[in-house]
Structure 1
């Protein structure tokens, strides 16, 4: 993956990411399953232990913690993805899934016969097997540089996995990671509004008309979510 600061990446895609999360949030397939309290926030709903380790390690490389603030793991993104896969989104409940399953172009969108939850499960199992063959360790136990090499190869579609295309999985994983980092905290990610603070997004404030066209200026008030200022707490790793 080319070198780029996560702030530059997220600022460039922040508006689109927030818009995508907001538009998806109006559909039944992403309604919050249950607003968890702090003691239950990390309780897995879909992932088994090895899958959770893989996703946490991958999220940590896609949006790492740095001098600008918490990364994806500290902001609860693996929890967000777990909850989404456990719900209607993970089962593709509102998608057309009847085939034909021909290989399409990128412009045609998702074309696989697997719902997102099944794609994650198959891809993670195949990727951990690949990593054990090539690096003699599961993905979560590899060095950061080796993890980056695997993710880059997935992005370039240069790893052949059984039954599932690696690039399609990488695209979904990156999209879900970005969504979790920039979504409203009520969905399990963006703890303490870490993503919104990074890009300067004020959240669900009812009125900031006077400030909206003051480009390049910091908004002076803290972010507010759909549940008010409850953003959860970022995790220390």
Structure 2
């Protein structure tokens, strides 16, 4: 393997933000990721570039929650700024993260159907659990609308028409809770967005993220193997071709 030039990378961020190899610890903040790798835009066969921003088509996957292509593009570009393509591998868009979030919002995750959603409601501490009367689906819709409104106010453009640094400015303001939201806080929305982005990058591909298991490949995570009986006694690290719950390699 060719020797890589040492610089701040996505792998460094994942190490310092509580994401262990093969597992996710959600609920953290972005830390120093926004602003790094900002020149690394991602394209896939279903994307086109216009003046520095990425427009994502619905491909053959289709949308399950979003009814507006513009909303979906805002989500896609936001996830790409959080998890950008770099020299280690693909970013959020190429990994299918926007489609993962779309499908999650269309299901029980988006409706909070398995969680206690009765009052009283109060703004809790970051270490506390879900504190909003709104469902995740409602928070995501409002958060995306706030990104569009803030982009129009600051730059007289839609979020997906911004340059990377301008997108980072909006996302940083949301992370720092500088943008007012109803029924929740922008900081909480950002935590949901960041956590969902990481989950989509490393989830099993059967959930429409982690395309080609490339998220696992970047971390040399084997996925879901039937057994390790042939290698369990070996002292050296074993690089194993990952496998999905669907049985695909």
* Residue 36 of structure 1: aligned partner: none
1:138 maps onto 2:144 in alignment: no
**Gapped regions of structure 2 (runs ≥ 5):** 1-6, 27-57
* Residue 97 of structure 2: aligned partner: 77
* Residue 14 of structure 2: aligned partner: 10
1:97·1:113 contact (CA, 8 Å) conserved in 2? yes
TM-score, normalized by length of structure 2?
0.76
**Cα distance in 2, alignment partners of residues 59 and 214 from structure 1:** 38
Pairwise mapping of residues 1-237 of structure 1 onto structure 2 (< 5 A)? 4-10=8-14, 13-15=19-21, 17-18=23-24, 41-47=60-66, 48-208=68-228, 210-211=231-232, 214=235, 217=237, 219-229=238-248
1:7 CA drift (Å): 1.9
**Quick one: structure 1 residues 151 and 4, their matched pair in 2 at CA, closer, same or farther if it must change by over 3 Å?**
farther
Higher relative contact order (CA 8 A, sep 6+): 1
The structure in which a higher percent of residues are helix is 1
Q: What CA deviation, in whole Å up to 9, does each residue of 1:97-156 have, x standing for no partner?
A: 111111111121220111000111111112211110111111111000011111122112
Count residues with an aligned counterpart: 208
**Cα distance in 2, alignment partners of residues 19 and 159 from structure 1:** 26
* Residue 26 of structure 1: aligned partner: none
1:162 CA drift (Å): 4.5
1:75·1:181 contact (CA, 8 Å) conserved in 2? yes
**Cα distance in 2, alignment partners of residues 53 and 64 from structure 1:** 15
**Gapped regions of structure 1 (runs ≥ 5):** 21-38, 231-237
TM-score, normalized by length of structure 1?
0.80
**Cα distance in 1, alignment partners of residues 167 and 243 from structure 2:** 35
Report the 3-state secondary structure (helix = DSSP H, G, I; strand = E; otherwise coil) of the residue aligned with 1:13: coil
**Cα distance in 2, alignment partners of residues 109 and 65 from structure 1:** 31
RMSD: 2.4
